[in-house]
Amino acid sequence: MKRPTLVVMVLGLSLLVSQAGAEQVKSLRGGNPLENSAKIPASLKVQNDRDPITRDYVQQPPLIPHHIKGYKVNMKMNKCLTCHSWSNYKEAGATKISQTHFNDRENNVLANIAPRRYFCTQCHVTQVNAPPLVENTFTPLETIKRY
């Protein structure tokens, strides 16, 4: 076999491979041509005002069963604590924050919520009415399941 023929063959093969590869790669926009606008994703609504959501595993930070739009958490104020702090939970009829949140990282118990636990939404989140992205067969432990 002559050298030029080999080169042509290799080039042709690589072209075939790259074309096959290009067909498999799909843009995030799907088959939507660039000049068309992307489809507006379905608007997701925060689940609002339901009973406390049962935990799925022991260490799970409880989920937020109401919307928190416009709730500010900064150094000056923490909107969550206006209902969930120990001084306010009874009047507000809210869940009180866990005692563990008063511990600093050396396990010293502080008089108020520890700064490392102050920013509620680092762990506690709201839920939206989105369908699960992948199938999930996870079931919580029998010991913490509540019906």
Partner 1 sequence: MNKHNKIKNGLQTLWTFLKKPTAKYSLGTLLIVGFVSGIIFWGGFNTAMEMTNTEEFCISCHEMRVNVFEEYKDTIHYTNRTGVRATCPDCHVPKEWVYKFVRKIKATNELYHKALGSIDTPEKFEAKRLQLAQNVWKTMKETDSRECRNCHDFKSMDYTEQGRRSMQQHQKGVDEGKTCIDCHKGIAHSSPEMYGIDPSTALEHR
Instruction: List contacts with partner 1 (CB under 8 A).
Output: 48-50, 66, 69-70, 72, 75-79, 81-82, 85-88, 92-93, 111-113, 115, 118
Nearer to partner 1, 23 or 49 (CB): 49
d(CA 40, CA 38): 6
Q: Residue type for 126, please? A: T
Tokens of 42: 């379905």
Nearer to partner 1, 40 or 111 (CB): 111
**3-class state of residue 126 by DSSP:** strand
Q: Shortest gap between Cβ of 60 and partner 1 (angstroms)?
A: 22
Burial 42-52 (b: 16+ CB within 10 A, else e): eeeebbeeeee
Q: Shortest gap between Cβ of 61 and partner 1 (angstroms)?
A: 19
Nearer to partner 1, 6 or 77 (CB): 77
Cβ of 115: how many Cβ atoms within 10 Å? 10
Nearer to partner 1, 35 or 106 (CB): 106
Q: Shortest gap between Cβ of 45 and partner 1 (angstroms)?
A: 11
